[in-house]
């Protein structure tokens, strides 16, 4: 087994902060998780041990290989769905961070097989729409969890080149080119879902077109640090 160098301390702290931000922003509750690719090895990633995201401290962050094996768990429990992260990092070299959640407003879209589409400029990253992961097609009747490498690989295939994939009857997974970007996208995926439901109830929705989605996404990438600064301040020191 290849043991990578120790990850950057600031990256570990940032991942603890990301966990708490996602809780405070209503993306995760007792469940859901966020990971970041290891800064010293593209074949490893950082993810908390099995615990509620709002409680994650620096010392709760573990190193995993892409098969989902923890290198340093020391007998602690790990997330059942860690395979989501490893298989997406394996399939998508551009992805540096992954958020998996059951954020509530997104659930109806998976259940009705309706894609999320960018309803306003903050969600240009949804320009390609969301794809759908149908676990029943892959594995029949299950507990809905992505609890193996095979299921993780099938989820990564469903995600394709997109920013987000809906998981029918379960939740969603959002990716980014940085931890800050993945957290931003997870927060605004939930916002988009709320707004899209409201707009659909009112009438025929005019979504951002491909050109608008690409341009707003490019502009908003430069604005992510503003949101991160506020959200980090709100959660305070992570211990």
How many residues bind Zn ion (CB under 5 A)? The answer is 1
The DSSP result for 29-43, as a single string, is SSS-EEEEE-SS-TT
Active site residues: 81
Structure tokens at 196: 């899209």
Residues 31-70, interacting with Zn ion (CB under 5 A): none
- Give the nearer residue to Zn ion in terms of CB position, either 169 or 225: 169
Nearest residue to Zn ion on Cβ basis = 171
Closest separation in Å from C-beta 32 to Zn ion: 7
Q: Is the dihedral of CA 152, 102, 27, 129 positive or negative?
A: positive
Q: Which is nearer to Zn ion, 101 or 220 (CB)?
A: 101
- Dihedral sign for Cα atoms in the order 186, 187, 190, 191: negative
Per-residue binding string, Zn ion, 165-204, x by CB under 5 A, is ------x---------------------------------
Q: How far is the CB of 72 from Zn ion (least distance, A)?
A: 23
Provide the minimum distance between the beta carbon of 88 and Zn ion in the complex, in angstroms, as a whole number.
14
Contacts with 81 (C-beta within 8 Å, 6 or more apart), sequence order: 33, 100, 145, 146, 147
Residue ranges in contact with Zn ion by CB under 5 A? 171
């Amino acid at each position: 087994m290849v043991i990578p160098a120790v990850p950057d301390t600031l990256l570990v702290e940032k991942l603890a902060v990301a966990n708490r931000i996602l809780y405070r922003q209503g993306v995760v509750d007792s469940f859901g998780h966020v990971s970041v690719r290891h800064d010293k090895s593209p074949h490893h990633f950082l993810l908390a041990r099995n615990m509620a995201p709002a409680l994650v401290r620096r010392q709760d962050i573990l190193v995993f290989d892409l098969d989902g094996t923890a290198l340093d768990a020391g007998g602690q429990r790990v997330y059942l769905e860690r395979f989501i992260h490893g298989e997406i990092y394996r399939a998508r070299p551009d992805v540096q961070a992954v958020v998996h959640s059951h954020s509530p407003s997104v659930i109806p879209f998976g259940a009705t097989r309706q894609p999320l589409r960018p309803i306003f400029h903050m969600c240009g990253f949804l320009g390609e729409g969301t794809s759908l992961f149908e676990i029943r097609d892959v594995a029949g009747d299950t507990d809905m969890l992505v609890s193996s490498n095979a299921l993780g690989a099938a989820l990564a295939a469903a995600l394709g080149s997109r920013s987000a994939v809906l998981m029918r009857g379960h939740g969603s997974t959002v990716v980014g080119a940085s931890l800050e970007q993945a957290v931003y996208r997870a927060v605004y995926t939930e916002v988009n879902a709320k707004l899209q439901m409201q707009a659909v109830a009112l009438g025929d929705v005019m979504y951002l077109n491909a050109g608008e989605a690409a341009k707003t996404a490019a502009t908003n990438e430069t604005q992510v640090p503003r949101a991160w600064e506020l959200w980090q301040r709100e959660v305070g020191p992570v211990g």
